[in-house]
Structures are given as C-alpha cells and as structure tokens.
Amino acid sequence: MSTAEETADGEMSAWGEVTPDAARRLLVAAVEAFAERGYHATTTRDIAGRAGMSPAALYIHYKTKEELLHRISRIGHAKALEILRVASRREGTATERLADAVSSFVRWHAGGRTTARVVQYELDSLGPDARAEILALRRQCDAEVRGIIEDGVASGEFDVLDVRGTTLAVMSLCIDVARWFNVDGPWTPDEVGALDADLVLRMVGAAK
C-alpha cells in the first residue's frame, strides 16, 4: 500500500471534517508530499499533481502552502489532545490513566505515522502566528500528561522527582514513534503502545 493509500484508507479518517471533497483531496496529498519530501522541498504543483488537480485549483481552497500545513497541524494536534484528554479524565487510578494515555497516544503515532510525522516535525515551517497557535495546543497536550503524573505523585503511586522533566521524557517517547515505526516491522501499533506504556510506568516508579 502506498503512503497515499494508507493516508486515505486508515490514518486520514480524521479528515472527514474537511470539505468539500476537493479540499480534502488536496490536504491528503499535502500530507503525503510533506511526509515524503519535507515542507520546504514540496511545491504547490507537487500537491496539486498528487491530488489529480491543476495548480490553479489548489488556490481555490488554500491561499498558500503554509495554510495547508497549518490546517494539517491544527487538526492533528486537536486529535492528539482529544486522545490524551479522554485518557486523563477517565475513571481509574493515575497508573491506569497514564498507561491508557501513553498506549493511546503511541497507537495514534504508529497507526497514523505519515500524518504524525508532518504534525510533529514540521512545526518550525509555520509562520509566527500559526506556530503560536500550534504551540498552545502542544502545551495543552503536555498539561494532560503532566496532570496525571502529578496525581500519581500526590496519591503515592509514582516516585518522580521532576514532574516537568518526566512529562517531557514521556511525550518524547510517544512522539518519536512516528519517526521510526514501520508497518512492515516486527510490531503492531497496539504492541508498541503496550510496550511504551510499560516503559513509562517503570519510568515513574509505578508499583506492579
């Protein structure tokens, strides 16, 4: 399956909110192009060609290439925040909630690695205003995980000296999955999610 097929069939189901169909096709094509070539090496002609459209058609829906990246980043980060928020606010112990948050977040990065690579690693390609908006969403994601760790420390479930530093380590572990995960490799997204959840619980000193 090509990156474009993978994007359309599975990990890009979140793009259903993007309308009309032509705008969604262009966005999917942009994700594919940015993931393969990088933002700066991709032209609007590349994107339009992948979508089977003319370059002029792209400007009907997106004023600039950056607008495409901004929309991809905003939707992707909103989805990531939703995943973490659901896990952090569910019933259960801090240990259960942290394991759920990590496994869910990792599965999203592995199963949707094409999108996640663009969402997580092209931040510096955005202009100041768009970048500030995405950074605010990232801070909210961090806050959800940090809140779980703080709860675990308060309840005595976790033994953590530096909550902020540990939060950074947890988030980095999850996000980096998008860089190395290979669908043809030895692990499924579920298996990587379970592995990283176990590693994180060990990191915070959770009792087994």
Is pLDDT of 13 > 90?
no
How many whole angstroms separate alpha carbon 57 and alpha carbon 52?
10
pLDDT at 207: 76
Q: Are 27 and 71 in contact (CB under 8 A)?
A: yes
| pLDDT tens for each residue of 114-166 | 999 999 999 999 999 999 999 999 999 999 999 999 999 999 999 999 999 99
pLDDT at 208: 63
Q: At what angle do helices 128-155 and 65-88 cross, to 10 degrees?
A: 10
How many whole angstroms separate alpha carbon 154 and alpha carbon 94?
10
Q: Are 64 and 85 in contact (CB under 8 A)?
A: no
Q: What phi, psi does 205 have (nearest 5°)? A: 75, 30
Is pLDDT of 60 > 80?
yes
**Distant-in-sequence, close-in-space partners of 200: CB < 8 Å, separation ≥ 6:** 98, 99, 102, 170, 173
How many whole angstroms separate alpha carbon 127 and alpha carbon 151?
36
**115 compared with 3, residue with greater pLDDT:** 115
Report which secondary-structure segment, H or E, holds 133. Answer: helix 128-155
Is pLDDT of 205 > 90?
yes
Query: What is the share, in percent, of the chain residues with pLDDT greater than 90?
Result: 82
Is pLDDT of 8 > 60?
no
| pLDDT tens for each residue of 74-95 | 999 999 999 999 999 999 999 9
Residue at token pair 């202009």: 127
Is pLDDT of 194 > 60?
yes
What's the DSSP call for residue 17?
G
**Distant-in-sequence, close-in-space partners of 121: CB < 8 Å, separation ≥ 6:** 178, 179
How many whole angstroms separate alpha carbon 84 and alpha carbon 86?
6
How many whole angstroms separate alpha carbon 51 and alpha carbon 72?
16
